[in-house]
Amino acid sequence: MSQELKLSLAQWSLQKAFQSGTLDPILFAKISKKVFDTHAVEYVSSFFSDKGNDDSFLISMKDRFDEHEVQNFLILVDNEDYLGDEDNKLRKKAIENH
């Protein structure tokens, strides 16, 4: 029985190009599909840290990966506090942030 290997592309793989402005992180789904022929992506929250509660932005991102037939596999969440904090209040806040 042969199974096709399916890979995802992590947005962090192109972090230098995104951070330098050479590439636009909003176009990651398109880049992933057109350049790397990848059908699943892993986003990094730090590229969109100011957009987490912006419903119109999130809908436009969903539209982008739907348009390019790319699955949003996961979002790596950075700088949103420690989920394993021993302090219940701080741990609860970290969960809400994620």
Q: Is residue 47 part of a domain?
A: yes
Bridge pairing between strands 71-76 and 9-10: unpaired
Q: Is residue 66 part of a domain?
A: yes
> Which pLDDT score is estimated for 79?
66
What is the count of structural domains for the chain? 1
- The domain of 54 spans 9-97
Let me know: does 91 contact 83? Beta carbons within 8 Å.
yes
Under the banding of pLDDT at 50, 70 and 90, the label for residue 41 is very high
Q: Is residue 3 part of a domain?
A: no
The 9-10 sheet, strands edge to edge:
9-10, 40-44, 71-76
Distance CA 2, CA 25 (A): 35
- What single string gives the DSSP state of each residue in 6-33? ---EEGGGGHHHHHHTSS-GGGHHHHHH
Q: Is residue 1 part of a domain?
A: no
Q: Is residue 65 part of a domain?
A: yes
Answer yes or no: pTM beyond 0.85.
no
Tens-place pLDDT, residues 49-97: 787 778 888 888 889 989 999 998 887 777 666 677 777 787 777 777 6
